Structure 1
Amino acid sequence: MPESLLRAVLDTNVLVSALLAQRAARTSPPLECLRLATRGAFRLVSSPQIIAELARALAYPKLRIPPDAAYAFTGLVVSLTEPDGLVRIRGRLTALRRDPADNAVLETALTGRAAYLVTGNLRHFEELGAADPDRRLRGLRIVGPREFVQNLGG
Protein backbone atom coordinates (compact mmCIF):
# COMPACT_ATOMS: atom_id res chain seq x y z
CA MET A 1 0.00 0.00 0.00
CA PRO A 2 1.27 3.49 -0.75
CA GLU A 3 2.72 5.41 2.19
CA SER A 4 0.45 8.36 1.37
CA LEU A 5 -2.66 6.29 2.05
CA LEU A 6 -5.02 7.73 4.65
CA ARG A 7 -4.57 6.08 8.07
CA ALA A 8 -7.47 5.20 10.37
CA VAL A 9 -8.13 3.37 13.64
CA LEU A 10 -11.31 1.29 13.89
CA ASP A 11 -12.44 1.10 17.51
CA THR A 12 -13.13 -2.39 18.87
CA ASN A 13 -16.89 -1.77 18.82
CA VAL A 14 -16.72 -1.08 15.07
CA LEU A 15 -14.72 -4.26 14.45
CA VAL A 16 -17.09 -6.42 16.52
CA SER A 17 -20.11 -4.89 14.77
CA ALA A 18 -18.50 -5.62 11.39
CA LEU A 19 -18.04 -9.29 12.25
CA LEU A 20 -21.58 -9.61 13.59
CA ALA A 21 -22.99 -8.06 10.41
CA GLN A 22 -20.85 -10.32 8.25
CA ARG A 23 -21.99 -13.43 10.15
CA ALA A 24 -25.63 -12.34 9.79
CA ALA A 25 -25.10 -11.75 6.05
CA ARG A 26 -26.25 -8.15 6.28
CA THR A 27 -24.57 -4.91 5.38
CA SER A 28 -23.73 -2.14 7.84
CA PRO A 29 -21.45 0.89 8.03
CA PRO A 30 -18.98 -0.98 10.31
CA LEU A 31 -18.82 -3.86 7.83
CA GLU A 32 -18.29 -1.38 4.99
CA CYS A 33 -15.39 0.15 6.98
CA LEU A 34 -13.79 -3.29 7.17
CA ARG A 35 -14.40 -3.92 3.46
CA LEU A 36 -12.76 -0.60 2.61
CA ALA A 37 -9.71 -1.64 4.64
CA THR A 38 -9.64 -5.02 2.91
CA ARG A 39 -9.74 -3.29 -0.50
CA GLY A 40 -6.86 -1.02 0.48
CA ALA A 41 -8.90 2.20 0.54
CA PHE A 42 -7.10 3.18 3.75
CA ARG A 43 -4.32 1.92 6.01
CA LEU A 44 -5.74 0.29 9.14
CA VAL A 45 -3.84 1.32 12.27
CA SER A 46 -4.06 -0.72 15.47
CA SER A 47 -2.11 -1.62 18.59
CA PRO A 48 -1.58 -4.73 20.70
CA GLN A 49 -4.03 -3.23 23.23
CA ILE A 50 -6.81 -2.94 20.63
CA ILE A 51 -6.09 -6.46 19.32
CA ALA A 52 -6.23 -7.85 22.88
CA GLU A 53 -9.49 -5.99 23.56
CA LEU A 54 -10.92 -7.36 20.31
CA ALA A 55 -9.99 -10.93 21.26
CA ARG A 56 -11.62 -10.48 24.69
CA ALA A 57 -14.78 -8.97 23.20
CA LEU A 58 -15.16 -11.73 20.62
CA ALA A 59 -15.02 -14.30 23.43
CA TYR A 60 -18.11 -12.86 25.18
CA PRO A 61 -20.63 -15.73 25.37
CA LYS A 62 -23.57 -13.47 24.48
CA LEU A 63 -22.04 -12.84 21.02
CA ARG A 64 -22.03 -16.58 20.22
CA ILE A 65 -18.98 -16.33 18.00
CA PRO A 66 -17.23 -19.69 17.59
CA PRO A 67 -13.59 -19.58 18.75
CA ASP A 68 -12.28 -20.45 15.28
CA ALA A 69 -14.25 -17.55 13.73
CA ALA A 70 -12.99 -15.17 16.43
CA TYR A 71 -9.41 -16.32 15.88
CA ALA A 72 -9.70 -15.95 12.10
CA PHE A 73 -11.24 -12.48 12.39
CA THR A 74 -8.56 -11.30 14.82
CA GLY A 75 -5.95 -12.63 12.40
CA LEU A 76 -7.58 -10.71 9.55
CA VAL A 77 -7.44 -7.47 11.54
CA VAL A 78 -3.77 -8.03 12.37
CA SER A 79 -2.96 -8.80 8.73
CA LEU A 80 -4.70 -5.60 7.60
CA THR A 81 -2.45 -3.54 9.90
CA GLU A 82 0.82 -5.01 8.69
CA PRO A 83 3.53 -4.12 7.95
CA ASP A 84 3.49 -0.62 9.45
CA GLY A 85 0.01 -0.14 10.91
CA LEU A 86 0.57 -1.95 14.21
CA VAL A 87 1.88 0.66 16.63
CA ARG A 88 3.22 0.35 20.15
CA ILE A 89 1.66 2.64 22.72
CA ARG A 90 2.77 3.39 26.25
CA GLY A 91 -0.66 3.41 27.86
CA ARG A 92 -0.05 6.73 29.58
CA LEU A 93 -2.70 8.88 27.91
CA THR A 94 -5.42 9.98 30.37
CA ALA A 95 -7.43 12.44 28.28
CA LEU A 96 -10.64 10.41 28.60
CA ARG A 97 -12.05 9.92 32.07
CA ARG A 98 -15.57 8.66 31.27
CA ASP A 99 -14.28 5.40 29.78
CA PRO A 100 -10.55 5.11 30.49
CA ALA A 101 -10.24 2.08 28.17
CA ASP A 102 -10.81 4.44 25.24
CA ASN A 103 -7.51 6.16 26.06
CA ALA A 104 -5.69 3.24 24.40
CA VAL A 105 -7.75 3.73 21.24
CA LEU A 106 -7.06 7.47 21.23
CA GLU A 107 -3.36 6.94 21.94
CA THR A 108 -3.18 4.39 19.11
CA ALA A 109 -4.66 6.92 16.69
CA LEU A 110 -2.31 9.69 17.79
CA THR A 111 0.81 7.50 17.88
CA GLY A 112 -0.09 5.90 14.56
CA ARG A 113 -0.59 9.30 12.89
CA ALA A 114 -4.15 8.37 11.95
CA ALA A 115 -6.35 10.89 10.18
CA TYR A 116 -9.48 9.21 11.58
CA LEU A 117 -10.58 7.39 14.70
CA VAL A 118 -13.78 5.54 13.81
CA THR A 119 -16.01 4.60 16.74
CA GLY A 120 -19.57 3.61 17.43
CA ASN A 121 -19.29 5.36 20.79
CA LEU A 122 -18.82 9.02 19.90
CA ARG A 123 -20.22 10.01 23.28
CA HIS A 124 -17.16 8.45 24.94
CA PHE A 125 -15.05 11.07 23.19
CA GLU A 126 -17.33 14.06 23.87
CA GLU A 127 -15.19 15.30 26.75
CA LEU A 128 -12.50 16.14 24.20
CA GLY A 129 -15.04 18.48 22.59
CA ALA A 130 -14.73 21.24 25.20
CA ALA A 131 -11.26 22.04 23.91
CA ASP A 132 -11.91 20.66 20.46
CA PRO A 133 -15.42 21.45 19.11
CA ASP A 134 -14.76 19.82 15.73
CA ARG A 135 -13.80 16.53 17.42
CA ARG A 136 -10.29 16.99 16.07
CA LEU A 137 -7.14 16.44 18.05
CA ARG A 138 -3.75 17.05 16.43
CA GLY A 139 -5.39 16.60 13.05
CA LEU A 140 -7.30 13.50 14.18
CA ARG A 141 -10.95 13.38 13.17
CA ILE A 142 -13.21 11.30 15.45
CA VAL A 143 -16.25 10.05 13.53
CA GLY A 144 -18.83 7.29 13.40
CA PRO A 145 -18.66 4.48 10.83
CA ARG A 146 -21.32 5.97 8.54
CA GLU A 147 -19.52 9.33 8.31
CA PHE A 148 -16.19 7.60 7.70
CA VAL A 149 -17.62 5.56 4.82
CA GLN A 150 -19.18 8.71 3.33
CA ASN A 151 -15.89 10.60 3.65
CA LEU A 152 -14.08 7.83 1.80
CA GLY A 153 -16.69 7.90 -0.93
CA GLY A 154 -18.03 4.45 -0.13
Structure 2
Amino acid sequence: MSVRVVIDTNVLVSGLLGVYSYPARIIDLVYSGRFHCVHDDRILMEYREVLSRPKFASAISEHERDDLIDYLDRWGLHVLPGPIGPLAATAPDPFDLPFAEAAVAGQASYIITGNTAHFDFFSGNHWGIRVLTPKDCHALICGGA
Protein backbone atom coordinates (compact mmCIF):
# COMPACT_ATOMS: atom_id res chain seq x y z
CA MET A 1 0.00 0.00 0.00
CA SER A 2 1.37 3.41 -0.91
CA VAL A 3 1.51 6.43 1.35
CA ARG A 4 0.32 9.79 0.04
CA VAL A 5 3.01 12.44 0.32
CA VAL A 6 3.73 15.93 -0.91
CA ILE A 7 7.38 16.43 -1.77
CA ASP A 8 8.91 19.88 -1.53
CA THR A 9 11.00 20.93 -4.50
CA ASN A 10 14.20 21.07 -2.45
CA VAL A 11 13.93 17.32 -1.82
CA LEU A 12 13.77 16.56 -5.55
CA VAL A 13 16.74 18.82 -6.26
CA SER A 14 18.80 17.28 -3.47
CA GLY A 15 17.74 13.77 -4.47
CA LEU A 16 18.84 14.25 -8.06
CA LEU A 17 22.12 15.88 -6.98
CA GLY A 18 23.06 13.36 -4.28
CA VAL A 19 22.53 9.78 -5.43
CA TYR A 20 23.16 8.24 -1.99
CA SER A 21 21.33 10.88 0.03
CA TYR A 22 18.09 10.61 2.00
CA PRO A 23 16.31 12.79 -0.59
CA ALA A 24 17.42 10.27 -3.26
CA ARG A 25 15.90 7.52 -1.14
CA ILE A 26 12.62 9.47 -1.10
CA ILE A 27 12.67 9.58 -4.90
CA ASP A 28 13.35 5.82 -4.89
CA LEU A 29 10.27 5.33 -2.68
CA VAL A 30 8.22 7.26 -5.23
CA TYR A 31 9.50 5.18 -8.15
CA SER A 32 8.96 1.94 -6.20
CA GLY A 33 5.33 2.82 -5.53
CA ARG A 34 5.71 3.09 -1.74
CA PHE A 35 4.90 6.80 -2.00
CA HIS A 36 2.05 8.25 -4.02
CA CYS A 37 3.05 11.83 -4.75
CA VAL A 38 0.29 14.45 -4.41
CA HIS A 39 0.62 17.61 -6.52
CA ASP A 40 -1.23 20.32 -8.36
CA ASP A 41 -0.35 22.37 -11.44
CA ARG A 42 1.53 24.96 -9.38
CA ILE A 43 3.76 22.33 -7.82
CA LEU A 44 4.55 20.64 -11.13
CA MET A 45 5.39 24.02 -12.65
CA GLU A 46 7.72 24.78 -9.75
CA TYR A 47 9.41 21.38 -10.07
CA ARG A 48 9.98 21.98 -13.78
CA GLU A 49 11.16 25.59 -13.35
CA VAL A 50 13.58 24.90 -10.50
CA LEU A 51 15.03 21.69 -11.96
CA SER A 52 15.53 23.50 -15.30
CA ARG A 53 17.70 26.24 -13.82
CA PRO A 54 21.07 26.59 -15.54
CA LYS A 55 22.96 26.06 -12.27
CA PHE A 56 21.72 22.45 -12.19
CA ALA A 57 22.31 21.70 -15.88
CA SER A 58 25.72 20.10 -15.38
CA ALA A 59 24.52 17.83 -12.56
CA ILE A 60 20.92 17.00 -13.54
CA SER A 61 20.37 15.89 -17.09
CA GLU A 62 17.34 17.04 -19.04
CA HIS A 63 16.37 13.39 -19.48
CA GLU A 64 16.59 12.66 -15.73
CA ARG A 65 14.60 15.79 -14.88
CA ASP A 66 11.91 15.18 -17.49
CA ASP A 67 11.56 11.50 -16.58
CA LEU A 68 10.97 12.34 -12.93
CA ILE A 69 8.48 15.12 -13.61
CA ASP A 70 6.64 13.05 -16.22
CA TYR A 71 6.46 10.13 -13.77
CA LEU A 72 5.09 12.37 -11.02
CA ASP A 73 2.58 13.89 -13.40
CA ARG A 74 1.41 10.56 -14.78
CA TRP A 75 1.42 8.40 -11.66
CA GLY A 76 0.95 10.97 -8.92
CA LEU A 77 -2.33 12.19 -7.52
CA HIS A 78 -3.30 15.47 -9.18
CA VAL A 79 -5.51 17.62 -6.96
CA LEU A 80 -7.36 20.92 -7.26
CA PRO A 81 -6.82 22.37 -3.79
CA GLY A 82 -8.65 25.16 -2.12
CA PRO A 83 -7.36 27.56 0.52
CA ILE A 84 -6.47 26.19 3.94
CA GLY A 85 -8.07 28.99 5.90
CA PRO A 86 -6.39 31.04 8.61
CA LEU A 87 -3.21 28.95 8.52
CA ALA A 88 -2.36 30.50 5.16
CA ALA A 89 -1.95 33.93 6.75
CA THR A 90 0.80 32.60 9.03
CA ALA A 91 2.94 31.08 6.27
CA PRO A 92 6.29 32.88 6.13
CA ASP A 93 6.66 32.17 2.41
CA PRO A 94 3.57 32.17 0.15
CA PHE A 95 5.42 29.84 -2.25
CA ASP A 96 5.11 27.07 0.37
CA LEU A 97 1.32 27.33 0.50
CA PRO A 98 0.65 25.16 -2.59
CA PHE A 99 2.40 22.26 -0.87
CA ALA A 100 0.26 22.55 2.26
CA GLU A 101 -2.91 23.08 0.22
CA ALA A 102 -2.18 20.06 -1.98
CA ALA A 103 -1.46 17.94 1.09
CA VAL A 104 -4.87 18.78 2.52
CA ALA A 105 -6.72 18.29 -0.78
CA GLY A 106 -4.99 14.98 -1.43
CA GLN A 107 -5.29 13.73 2.15
CA ALA A 108 -1.54 13.24 2.32
CA SER A 109 0.10 11.74 5.37
CA TYR A 110 3.31 13.76 5.05
CA ILE A 111 4.93 16.80 3.55
CA ILE A 112 8.58 15.93 2.99
CA THR A 113 10.91 18.91 2.98
CA GLY A 114 14.49 19.83 3.69
CA ASN A 115 13.22 23.08 5.23
CA THR A 116 10.81 22.05 7.98
CA ALA A 117 11.00 25.56 9.49
CA HIS A 118 9.21 26.87 6.39
CA PHE A 119 6.25 24.73 7.42
CA ASP A 120 6.14 25.65 11.11
CA PHE A 121 2.83 27.37 10.34
CA PHE A 122 1.44 23.95 9.39
CA SER A 123 2.69 21.90 12.36
CA GLY A 124 -0.07 20.61 14.57
CA ASN A 125 -2.63 21.08 11.80
CA HIS A 126 -6.02 19.49 12.39
CA TRP A 127 -5.70 17.29 9.29
CA GLY A 128 -2.96 15.24 10.94
CA ILE A 129 -0.45 15.87 8.14
CA ARG A 130 3.11 15.64 9.44
CA VAL A 131 6.01 17.68 8.11
CA LEU A 132 9.18 15.60 7.99
CA THR A 133 12.72 15.80 6.69
CA PRO A 134 13.72 13.15 4.15
CA LYS A 135 15.83 11.40 6.80
CA ASP A 136 13.02 11.32 9.37
CA CYS A 137 10.50 10.21 6.78
CA HIS A 138 12.76 7.42 5.54
CA ALA A 139 13.35 6.24 9.12
CA LEU A 140 9.61 6.26 9.82
CA ILE A 141 8.63 4.42 6.63
CA CYS A 142 11.61 2.08 6.27
CA GLY A 143 12.52 1.60 9.91
CA GLY A 144 15.94 3.21 9.90
CA ALA A 145 18.89 4.11 7.74
Q: Shared topology, TM-score over 0.5?
A: yes
Q: Name whichever structure is richer in helix by fraction.
A: 2
| Paired residue type of 2:68 | F
Please give the secondary structure, in 1, of the residue aligned with 2:142.
Answer: coil
Quote the offset at 1:86 in angstroms. 1.2
Instruction: Tell whether 2:43 aligns with 1:50.
Output: yes
Q: State how far apart, in whole Å, the 1-side matches of 2:56 and 2:108 are.
A: 29
Work out the number of aligned pairs and report it. Answer: 138
Distance of 1:34 and 1:80 partners within structure 2: 13
2:4 alignment partner, one of 1, 4, 7: 7
Asked if the contact 2:14–2:23 (Cα under 8 Å) also holds between the matched residues in 1, the reply is yes
TM-score where L is the length of structure 2: 0.84
Alignment of 1:148 with 2:141, yes or no, is: no
* CA separation of 1:95 and 1:14: change in aligned 2, threshold 3 A: farther
Match of 2:121 in 1: 127
The alpha carbon displacement at 1:67 in A equals 3.3
Which residue is equivalent to 2:29? Answer: 36
Question: Would the aligned equivalents of 2:103 and 2:110 in 1 still touch at CA under 8 Å?
Answer: yes
Asked whether the equivalents of residues 91 and 119 of structure 2 are also in contact (C-alpha less than 8 Å), the reply is: no
2:15 to 18, 21, 31: 18
Question: Which blocks of at least 5 consecutive residues in structure 1 are unaligned?
Answer: none
CA offset digits 1:35-65 (Å, max 9, x no partner): 1121121322121111100000011111123
Q: Does 1:69 align with 2:59?
A: no
RMSD: 1.9
Quick check: 1:111 aligned with 2:100?
Answer: no
Give me the TM-score of the superposition, normalised by structure 1. 0.80
SS in structure 1 at match of 2:37: strand
Distance in 2 between the 1:78 and 1:11 partners?
Answer: 15
The alignment status of 1:99 with 2:88, answered yes or no, reads no
**What amino acid sits opposite 1:19 in the alignment?**
L
User: How has the CA–CA distance of structure 1 residues 71 and 31 changed in structure 2, closer, same or farther, with 3 Å as cutoff?
Assistant: same
2:127 matches 1:138 = yes
Contact 1:95 1:128 in 2 (8 A): no
4+ residue segments displaced more than 6 Å:
none
Structure-2 separation of matches of 1:35 and 1:143: 17
